[in-house]
Amino acid sequence: MPDKDFIMRKIKLIQEELSHLEKFSQYSSQEIASDYEKTATIERFLERIITRAIDINQHIISEAGKGTEVVRGYGDTFLVLAGLGIYPKEFAEEIAPSAGLRNRLVHEYDTADREIIYTSVSEALEQYAKYCAYILDFMEKQ
């Protein structure tokens, strides 16, 4: 049985980060790309949002999974949740690539392209708001 307090705390933190991230959606890609502090702040918000979602995914998989799920990487955790019926497969396929962005941010693989950072803001705002809604709906049913 998933730990409701753990999941609710992580969801609350994701929602708070999304609220802060939303403030940056008003800037153009050029304004973000030319401002190191804006870029660094956005990168950190994205990293924290995605990492917290992965934490939730891993927890749900370990507590509600069948034990036969195949997880080769963090992106797979989003796909497994679709397999558990928590959200549609199409949504999982949309959000799963964000795990790759998280890896690029955390491990500084060739430093993330600033245009990718810019487009990731709107994608994260949309996808992670939906993600939170799906997880909250799942938790209500538990």
Which residue carries 């938790």 as its tokens?
139
The reported pLDDT for the residue numbered 86 is 97
- What is the sign, positive or negative, of the torsion defined by CA atoms of 124, 129, 134, 139? positive
What is the predicted pLDDT for the residue at 71? 87
The pLDDT, as a whole number, for residue 18 is: 98
> What positions carry a catalytic annotation?
102, 107
Domains of the chain, residue spans: 4-140
Please list the alpha-helical segments (H only) found in 65-107: 74-83, 89-95, 98-107
What are the b/e assignments for 102-119, b being 16+ CB within 10 Å? bbbbeeeeeebebeebbe
Calculate the average pLDDT of the chain: 90
Residue whose token pair is 């749900």: 60
Fold that domain 4-140 belongs to in CATH: Four Helix Bundle (Hemerythrin (Met), subunit A) (1.20.120)
116, pLDDT greater than 80: no
Does position 130 have pLDDT exceeding 50, yes or no?
Answer: yes
